[in-house]
A and B are shown apart, each in its own frame.
Chain A
């Protein structure tokens, strides 16, 4: 044998081997149940990747796509069973509904091994698909909705009503109490009380002047004299704008109760009290 022949043999052998590797092998496929499908069902095809010789490593998995008018392929996956065998699991979803019972073909397809030596051929498989409803005459195209069962809501409504009334009564009572307390508080304020007392007596009467004195005392938290008036403005600085009138009242009161009697135009205690009540109320807010 010549050298060239000696070289040609391995090449030939290699080529033979390559041709053998390119050979399609019918795959071991667990085809889906061939009947009883309706629109929306999933049809699962399982392809055994583990052969007796070696593990099949697909170069690419079949793409996610609509394969025909009936079916759409979902993302395939590789599962390993407990006996160590690997399966390529491909799901198709039935996306169309036939008018009558129809046979639909799962398409045939193939995958290649990464080493390029083997190609698994998956044959097509027929499945029968049925419509969801009968289209034969006489049958109702749609059944009416089922009547919902009536639940007795009366006790619940009565409960809600009862608690709502209770809540409303509580809120109303609380608001009323708040209002009453504010009213009471406001009417117990020193100058408010003095005004009430003034309404029963003449404003020039000693009682009227004494009532205003008590209001000043209460505001200052101590008994006030003209000399201790700064204590009032320290405690109630909001009365400061009326300082002149207040000092005039105290000076006249001193003359009236302890001295020779009032001199000059007497202070209107009612007007003073009204004004101080107004300031007092504004300060409360």
Chain B
């Protein structure tokens, strides 16, 4: 079991990961912090944003900083589940060969699996990934492959909708965070991104990040140690349970949204897995802040990204999800009282 000193040491390393990634990515401090939180809470991350904001770059930078083996798959409409498991080809001697696919190739050394443009892959591929994400195992070649250290980073752009397959709600629920990566607005950052040649060569940019800062094999253990060592008071537990209730019945807490019939808005509230993710992530936020207990601020720091994609709206409001989910979680955080 990790001691307090070890946790302190790991905290310094975690903060260093953020610094290293920030060398390659400018103007995305919040996104970097949240991905780091997911990493130590052992949760998968779905990154969404406009085209060309640096989604792939930030995930590649993290993969490099974490160390361990890294695999990357491009989501395409003709990608089939088998393509992740095995690879067939004819070798130089003209003999057919079958080799392990990207998911199995690294065995237990696989630390980051990066699925680019996940919504271009067919639902069959997504289901395979679901199992890999939830259980960190895949059955193939009559045996079970395990990847206990794997974290899935996926991204999708929110501009294109053609030839894409929207992720099923069960698939989205597997991701700890669904992050929205904004286009930087600060003028000096925008200018640097456009005119500074350093940002034009992504490979060189990624090389700025010191590789393998974290002993990735220990991440599961340290993640568990963080969860054990950060305390949640009874009042905070009540607060989290109230938030859960509010996601199912927001009207009870006086939550109102303009132009929305609140009684017809919610189809289902946040899942138990969602609330689990919330407290896991909040514990990591508290740990990164050097505290031994969770405060409501830790919950607030991660709630929009853990709960937003886990509330299910009735079909009439589902089309306005992006706008309503953000407003709903914001209102819930403003209306659920604590300490109570």
Partners in one complex: yes
Q: Interface on A for B, CB 8 Å cutoff?
A: 206, 209-210, 213-214, 217, 222-223, 225-227, 253-254, 257-260
Interchain nearest-CB distance for B284 vs A (Å)? 16
Contacts of A257 in B (CB 8 A): 233, 235-236, 338-339
Expressed in whole angstroms, the Cα–Cα distance for A227 and B233 within the complex equals 19
| Inter-chain contact A258/B337, CB cutoff 8 Å | no
| Inter-chain contact A258/B293, CB cutoff 8 Å | yes
Expressed in whole angstroms, the Cα–Cα distance for A260 and B336 within the complex equals 23
Residue from B235, B294, B334 in contact with A222 in the complex, judged by beta carbons closer than 8 Å:
B334
Give me the 9 closest cross-chain CB pairs, A-B, nearest first.
A257-B339, A222-B334, A257-B235, A258-B295, A227-B297, A259-B293, A258-B233, A225-B296, A223-B337
Interchain nearest-CB distance for A222 vs B (Å)? 4
Contacts of B340 in A (CB 8 A): 210
Interchain nearest-CB distance for B56 vs A (Å)? 32
| Inter-chain contact A225/B235, CB cutoff 8 Å | no
B335 interface hit (Cβ, 8 Å): yes
| Inter-chain contact B339/A259, CB cutoff 8 Å | no
| Inter-chain contact A223/B333, CB cutoff 8 Å | yes
Contacts of A206 in B (CB 8 A): 339
Interchain nearest-CB distance for A215 vs B (Å)? 11
Q: Chain B 315-340, CB within 8 Å of chain A: the 1/0 string?
A: 00000000000000000011111111
Q: Interface on B for A, CB 8 Å cutoff?
A: 233, 235-236, 291-297, 300, 333-340
Residue from B292, B336, B339 in contact with A213 in the complex, judged by beta carbons closer than 8 Å:
B339
**CB closest chain-B residue, reference A206:** B339
- Between A and B, 17 residue pairs with Cβ closer than 8 Å are A209-B339, A213-B338, A213-B339, A214-B337, A217-B337, A222-B334, A223-B334, A225-B296, A225-B300, A253-B339, A254-B295, A257-B236, A258-B236, A258-B293, A259-B233, A260-B292, A260-B293
| Inter-chain contact A223/B336, CB cutoff 8 Å | yes
Interchain nearest-CB distance for A60 vs B (Å)? 95
| Inter-chain contact A258/B294, CB cutoff 8 Å | yes
Contacts of B334 in A (CB 8 A): 222-223
**CB closest chain-A residue, reference B339:** A257
Contacts of A223 in B (CB 8 A): 333-338
Q: Which among B236, B292, B294, B295 has the greatest number of chain A C-beta atoms within 10 A?
A: B295
Residue from B291, B335, B339 in contact with A210 in the complex, judged by beta carbons closer than 8 Å:
B339
Known: A227-B300, A258-B236. A213 touches B293 (CB 8 A): no
Contacts of B233 in A (CB 8 A): 257-259
Q: Which among B236, B291, B339 has the greatest number of chain A C-beta atoms within 10 A?
A: B339
Interchain nearest-CB distance for A241 vs B (Å)? 25
Interchain nearest-CB distance for A9 vs B (Å)? 124
Q: Which among A206, A213, A259 has the greatest number of chain B C-beta atoms within 10 A?
A: A259
Contacts of A209 in B (CB 8 A): 339
Residue from B295, B300, B333, B337 in contact with A259 in the complex, judged by beta carbons closer than 8 Å:
B295
Expressed in whole angstroms, the Cα–Cα distance for A206 and B238 within the complex equals 14
Q: Which among B291, B297, B338 has the greatest number of chain A C-beta atoms within 10 A?
A: B338
Expressed in whole angstroms, the Cα–Cα distance for A258 and B300 within the complex equals 14
| Inter-chain contact A225/B337, CB cutoff 8 Å | no
Interchain nearest-CB distance for B165 vs A (Å)? 39
Contacts of B291 in A (CB 8 A): 259
Contacts of A222 in B (CB 8 A): 334-335
Expressed in whole angstroms, the Cα–Cα distance for A214 and B340 within the complex equals 9
Contacts A257-B233, A258-B236, A258-B295 known; 20 new A-B pairs at CB < 8 A: A206-B339, A213-B337, A213-B338, A214-B337, A217-B337, A222-B334, A223-B337, A223-B338, A225-B338, A227-B297, A227-B300, A254-B295, A257-B236, A257-B338, A258-B235, A258-B294, A258-B339, A259-B233, A259-B295, A260-B292
Contacts of A254 in B (CB 8 A): 295
Expressed in whole angstroms, the Cα–Cα distance for A253 and B235 within the complex equals 11
Expressed in whole angstroms, the Cα–Cα distance for A68 and B175 within the complex equals 128
Expressed in whole angstroms, the Cα–Cα distance for A170 and B236 within the complex equals 54
Interchain nearest-CB distance for B234 vs A (Å)? 9
Interchain nearest-CB distance for B336 vs A (Å)? 6
Expressed in whole angstroms, the Cα–Cα distance for A158 and B295 within the complex equals 74
Expressed in whole angstroms, the Cα–Cα distance for A214 and B233 within the complex equals 19
Expressed in whole angstroms, the Cα–Cα distance for A225 and B294 within the complex equals 13
Interchain nearest-CB distance for B114 vs A (Å)? 33
Interchain nearest-CB distance for A231 vs B (Å)? 9
Interchain nearest-CB distance for B101 vs A (Å)? 46
Residue from B292, B293, B297, B335 in contact with A225 in the complex, judged by beta carbons closer than 8 Å:
B297
Contacts of A213 in B (CB 8 A): 337-339
Expressed in whole angstroms, the Cα–Cα distance for A176 and B220 within the complex equals 70
Expressed in whole angstroms, the Cα–Cα distance for A227 and B300 within the complex equals 10
| Inter-chain contact A258/B292, CB cutoff 8 Å | no
Expressed in whole angstroms, the Cα–Cα distance for A209 and B235 within the complex equals 13
Expressed in whole angstroms, the Cα–Cα distance for A206 and B339 within the complex equals 9
Contacts of B335 in A (CB 8 A): 222-223
Contacts of B236 in A (CB 8 A): 257-258
Expressed in whole angstroms, the Cα–Cα distance for A81 and B5 within the complex equals 134
| Inter-chain contact A226/B297, CB cutoff 8 Å | yes
**CB closest chain-A residue, reference B232:** A258
Expressed in whole angstroms, the Cα–Cα distance for A253 and B236 within the complex equals 12
Contacts of A210 in B (CB 8 A): 339-340
Expressed in whole angstroms, the Cα–Cα distance for A214 and B336 within the complex equals 11
Expressed in whole angstroms, the Cα–Cα distance for A225 and B337 within the complex equals 10
Interchain nearest-CB distance for A36 vs B (Å)? 97
Interchain nearest-CB distance for A274 vs B (Å)? 21
Contacts of B295 in A (CB 8 A): 225, 254, 258-259
Contacts of B297 in A (CB 8 A): 225-227
